[in-house]
């Protein structure tokens, strides 16, 4: 069962903030976040493991609530380079593969 991402798309002005959510109906062991720019490979941003930790990558951070089976990605003071499609990937305890959400398209305008 693939995780559900919301919103599907968001348009921001440079410097604005945004939140992308990722929800699963299955118990999760970890959540990954990736960003893909058009025509390029998805690029790894961060992994969050069970324990509700929050991580950061530049001004992009994320949280993981394993009880709610949800993760959120926070884009703070967005930059033009943040534009792209963000995917969450989830793994259960077996952890053999990631199941990806449908993606959230982010466009940051000057």
Partner 1 sequence: EAGVTQFPSHSVIEKGQTVTLRCDPISGHDNLYWYRRVMGKEIKFLLHFVKESKQDESGMPNNRFLAERTGGTYSTLKVQPAELEDSGVYFCASSGLVRSYNSPLHFGNGTRLTVT
Nearer to partner 1, 36 or 63 (CB): 36
Least Cβ distance, residue 17 to partner 1 (angstroms): 25
Q: Within 10 Å of residue 46's Cβ, how many Cβ atoms?
A: 17
SS3 80: helix
Find, among 70, 85, 92, the residue nearest to 22 by Cα. Answer: 70
Binding segment for partner 1 (CB under 8 A), chosen from 15-23, 51-59, 71-79, 89-97, is: 89-97
Among 48, 95, 43, residue whose Cα is nearest residue 73:
48
Q: For partner 1, which is the closer residue by CB, 15 or 57?
A: 57
User: Cβ of residue 84: shortest distance to partner 1, in angstroms?
Assistant: 13
**Of the candidates 48, 21, 26, 44, the residue with the CA atom closest to the CA atom of residue 34:** 44
Interacting residue ranges for partner 1, rule: CB under 8 A: 2, 29-30, 32, 34, 39-44, 47, 49, 87, 89, 91-93, 95-103
């Amino acid at each position: 069962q693939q995780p559900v991402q919301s919103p599907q798309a968001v348009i921001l002005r440079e410097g604005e903030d945004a939140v992308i959510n990722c929800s699963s109906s299955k118990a999760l062991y970890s959540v990954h976040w990736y960003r893909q720019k058009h025509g390029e490979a998805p690029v790894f941003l961060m992994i969050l493991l069970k324990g509700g930790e929050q991580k950061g990558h530049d001004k992009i951070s994320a949280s993981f609530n394993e009880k709610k089976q949800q993760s959120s990605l926070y884009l703070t003071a967005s930059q033009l380079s943040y534009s792209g499609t963000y995917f969450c990937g989830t793994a259960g305890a077996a952890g053999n593969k990631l199941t990806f959400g449908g993606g959230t398209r982010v466009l940051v305008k000057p």
